Amino acid sequence: MGLFSRRKTVYVDSDVLVVGGGMAGCGATYESRYWGRDKKVVVVEKANIERSGAVAQGLYAINCYMGMQWGENQPEDHVRYARNDLMGLVREDLGYDIARHVDATVHMFEEWGLPIMKDPETGRYQRDNVLMETGWATMPGSEDANRAVAKACLEVLAAKF
Amino acid sequence: MPTFVYMSSCDGCGECVDICPSDIMHIDPTHRRAYNIEPNFCWECYACVKACPQNAIDVRGYSDFAPLGHSVRVLRDEEKSTISWKIRFRDGREKNFVSPIRTTPWGSIKSPADFPEPRPEAINSQELAHEPQGLNINELPALTRDQLKQGVV
């Protein structure tokens, strides 16, 4: 009796297969359903989707919020920041692409219900005090970010295995 | 600072087994109660503490900075959509923190399939769903060809 001998193998066909159900995977799932209405989208996640991963991409999205609507940062600023942070070893085009889409993503998180701390006077998103000088790090007001987004993702999917 | 289970409160439902990212919360086959099989591998992420419907899981502080008599409890209330922390110090002082889980009701998020279908040619554009309106700016910033060749900035 091996460790895996009691496990069953389930075969699932899909048009779009998303590997990993963290913030990035849930986002990819959302996009897949938006653009491919008649496609079968399957997310595979090794753990529990409501508490998966380390919210790496998700927290990064919230941290690197541009604030383009207030003229705070532009995608070029993110490229400069990431290049400096990683000592030049970056794909600048990818850094640019992440940055130009991130505002819409964070706006969507907020619309879905992710609490974000705001400046009571200006209504702008508050930045973390420590990273204030760099102009980055928007403060999420929730400990439960992946659960909120995963719920949205589950509502998108037709079935849960 | 691993988790431990109050055996008298645990009913062996297995929520902690499902949620544990380290896979170290198991159900004891004899007593039908959850326990931490490998405290050294506990991340102290509090996922099981928040997930436990019986509030039967607690986290023990290391004795060098958390002396006997303290307690750190967390309650995740899905109905009120809040997470509350109660910190009790050894000298009896108590601090309470409440933060929201989300600002909208559970199940209220609109599926992307409920939005009007995008035009078929839109999939070739560089925009993601709900862009550019969702950006709150007029259009999605884009690089020009010469910028790609020379470096972005």
Looking at residue A134, what is its pLDDT? Answer: 44
- The answer to whether the CB atoms of A35 and B107 lie below 8 A apart is no
**ipTM summary value:** 0.77
A79 found inside a domain? yes
pLDDT by residue, tens only, chain B of 153 residues: 789 999 999 999 999 998 888 889 999 999 999 999 999 899 888 889 988 999 999 988 777 767 777 888 888 888 888 888 998 888 889 999 988 888 888 878 888 888 999 988 988 999 999 988 899 999 999 888 777 666 666
Identify whether A4 is part of a domain. no
Which residues between 4 and 63 in chain A have a beta carbon less than 8 angstroms from any beta carbon of chain B? 30-31, 33-35, 37, 47-48, 50-52
Same domain, A67 and A115: yes
pLDDT of residue A54: 59
Say if B138 is an interface residue toward chain A (CB within 8 Å). no
- From the list B51, B109, B136, the residue facing A112 with the nearest CB is B109
A56-63 and A92-112 helices, crossing angle to 10°? 90
Q: Could you tell me if A99 and A146 lie in one domain?
A: no
How many other CB atoms are found less than 10 A from the CB of residue A86? Answer: 10
Residues A68 and A129 in one domain: yes
For A119, phi and psi rounded to 5 degrees?
-70, 120
Q: Does A118 touch chain B (CB under 8 A)?
A: no
Contact B47, B21 (CB under 8 A): yes
Assess if residue A101 is contained within a domain.
yes
Same domain for A95 and A27: no
The reply to whether A79 and A110 lie within a common domain is: yes
Look at residue A113 and tell me if it is in a domain: yes
| Within a domain: A153 | yes
Question: What would the pLDDT profile of A1-28 be if each residue is shown by its tens digit?
Answer: 576 778 888 888 999 999 887 778 888 8
Distance CA A111, CA A123 (A): 15
A134 in the same domain as A84: yes
Whether B108 contacts chain A with CB within 8 A:
yes
pLDDT category at A148 given cuts 50, 70, 90 is: low
For residues A69 and A128, membership in a common domain is answered with yes
Same structural domain for residues A77 and A135? Answer: yes
Distance from CA of A13 to the nearest CA of B (A): 20
In chain A, which residue's Cα lies nearest the Cα of B127? A101
The structural domain count of chain A equals 2
In a domain, A26, yes or no: yes
Alpha carbon distances (Å) from A44 to A11, A35, A135:
12, 20, 36
Q: DSSP per residue over A64-86, as a string?
A: T---GGGTS--HHHHHHHHHHHT
Q: Is residue A134 part of a domain?
A: yes
Residue with tokens 């889980």: B101
Residue A117 sits at the chain B interface (C-beta within 8 Å): no
Residue of B nearest to A153 (CA): B111
Structural contact between residues A27 and A62, judged by C-beta atoms closer than 8 angstroms = no
Same domain, yes or no: A129 and A93: yes
| B85 is an active site residue | no
Same domain, A91 and A134: yes
Residue A85 shares a structural domain with residue A98: yes
Q: Do the chains contact at B118 and A34, CB–CB below 8 Å?
A: yes
- Residues shown for chain A: 161
Q: Looking at the partner chain, which of B23, B123, B131 has a beta carbon nearest the beta carbon of A104? A: B131
pLDDT at A139 exceeding the cut of 60: no
| Strand B3-5 relative to strand A41-44, pairing | unpaired
A154–chain B Cβ distance below 8 A for any pair: no
Question: Are A98 and A71 within one domain?
Answer: yes
Burial of B13 (0-12, 13-18, 19+ CB in 10 A): middle
Residue A136 domain boundaries:
60-140
Q: Hey, are the CB atoms on B143 and A152 less than 8 Å from each other?
A: no
In a domain, A1, yes or no: no
pLDDT of residue B52: 92
